[in-house]
Structure 1
Amino acid sequence: MFEKNKLFVFGFGYTAAFLASQLNLSMWQVAGTSRRQEIRDKYLSSNICLIDYMDYAQICLNLKSVTHLLISIPPVRQVGDVVIADFSDILKELAPHLKWIGYLSTTGVYGDHDGNWVDECSMLKPDNERAILRVGAEKNWLQLGEDISVPVQIFRLSAIYGPSRNVLRQLLEGEVSCIFKAGHYFSRIQVEDIVQVLLASMNAPQMGEIYNLADDEPTPSHEVIQYAATLLKVSPPKLLSIEKAKLSPMTQEFYNSHRKVSNAKIKQSLGIKLKYPSYREGLRALLQNCVG
Structure 2
Amino acid sequence: MPSHFTQHRFHLPRILIVGCGDVGQRMLPILVKSFKVYVLTSQTEKFELFRQAGAIPILGNLDDRLTLQRLSQIASTVIHLAPPNPSGVEDVRTKALIQALSKGGRVKRFVYISTTGVYGDCAGRQISEVTHVKPQNVRAIRRVDAEKKLRAWGSQQGVSVIILRVPGIYAGNRLPIERLQKGTAALVAQEDVYTNHIHADDLARLTILCIYRGGSQRIFNACDHTELKMADYFDLVADKMQLPRPPRVDKETLKTLVSPQLLSFMQESRRISNDRLREIGFKFLYPTVKDYLDRT
Q: What displacement does 1:130 show?
A: 1.2
Say whether 1:151 aligns with 2:167: no
Q: What displacement does 1:126 show?
A: 0.8
Q: What displacement does 1:213 show?
A: 0.9
Q: Give the letter for the 2:39 counterpart.
A: G
Q: Any idea what the Cα deviations from partners look like across 1:74-107, whole Å, max 9, x if unmatched?
A: 3334583334432434422433x43310111100
Residue of 34, 56, 65 corresponding to 1:27: 34
**Structure 1 residues 178 and 37 mapped into 2: Cα distance closer, same or farther (>3 Å)?**
farther
Tell me if structure 2 keeps the 8 A contact 1:160–1:190.
yes
Partners of 2:196 and 2:98 lie apart in 1 by: 33
Partners of 1:89 and 1:107 lie apart in 2 by: 26
Tell me if structure 1 keeps the 8 A contact 2:168–2:196.
yes
Name the residue aligned to 1:258: 269
Q: Give the letter for the 1:254 counterpart.
A: F
Residue of 102, 109, 120 corresponding to 1:100: 109
Name the residue aligned to 1:177: 184
Name the residue aligned to 2:252: 243
Partners of 1:208 and 1:114 lie apart in 2 by: 28
Residue of 8, 20, 27 corresponding to 2:16: 8
**Structure 1 residues 47 and 196 mapped into 2: Cα distance closer, same or farther (>3 Å)?**
closer
Aligned structure 1 segments of 4 or more residues deviating by more than 4 angstroms:
55-59
Name the residue aligned to 1:282: 292
Partners of 1:227 and 1:87 lie apart in 2 by: 40
Q: What displacement does 1:27 show?
A: 2.7
Tell me which protein shows more helix as a share of its residues. Answer: 2
Q: Any idea what the Cα deviations from partners look like across 1:34-69, whole Å, max 9, x if unmatched?
A: 333443453344422333334867654355230210
**Structure 1 residues 79 and 119 mapped into 2: Cα distance closer, same or farther (>3 Å)?**
closer
Q: What displacement does 1:175 show?
A: 4.7
Q: Secondary structure of 1:153's match?
A: strand
Tell me if structure 1 keeps the 8 A contact 2:16–2:74.
no
Residue of 91, 110, 116 corresponding to 1:81: 91
Aligned-residue RMSD, C-alpha: 2.4
Name the residue aligned to 2:7: none
Say whether 1:220 aligns with 2:218: no
Gaps of 5+ in 2: 1-9
Gaps of 5+ in 1: none
**Structure 1 residues 69 and 83 mapped into 2: Cα distance closer, same or farther (>3 Å)?**
farther
Q: Any idea what the Cα deviations from partners look like across 1:157-213, whole Å, max 9, x if unmatched?
A: 01001131113x4378x2562402424210111112112221221112421100101
TM-score (norm 1): 0.86
Partners of 1:78 and 1:114 lie apart in 2 by: 26
Tell me if structure 2 keeps the 8 A contact 1:180–1:241.
yes
Tell me if structure 1 keeps the 8 A contact 2:196–2:228.
yes
Tell me if structure 2 keeps the 8 A contact 1:43–1:49.
yes
Partners of 1:27 and 1:208 lie apart in 2 by: 24
**Structure 1 residues 250 and 39 mapped into 2: Cα distance closer, same or farther (>3 Å)?**
farther
Q: Give the letter for the 1:276 counterpart.
A: Y
Tell me if structure 1 keeps the 8 A contact 2:196–2:227.
yes
Partners of 1:128 and 1:56 lie apart in 2 by: 27
Name the residue aligned to 2:281: 271
Q: What displacement does 1:153 show?
A: 0.6
Q: What displacement does 1:122 show?
A: 0.2
Name the residue aligned to 1:50: 57
Tell me if structure 2 keeps the 8 A contact 1:178–1:221.
no
Residue of 119, 136, 149 corresponding to 1:127: 136
Q: Give the letter for the 1:107 counterpart.
A: T
Partners of 1:87 and 1:237 lie apart in 2 by: 42
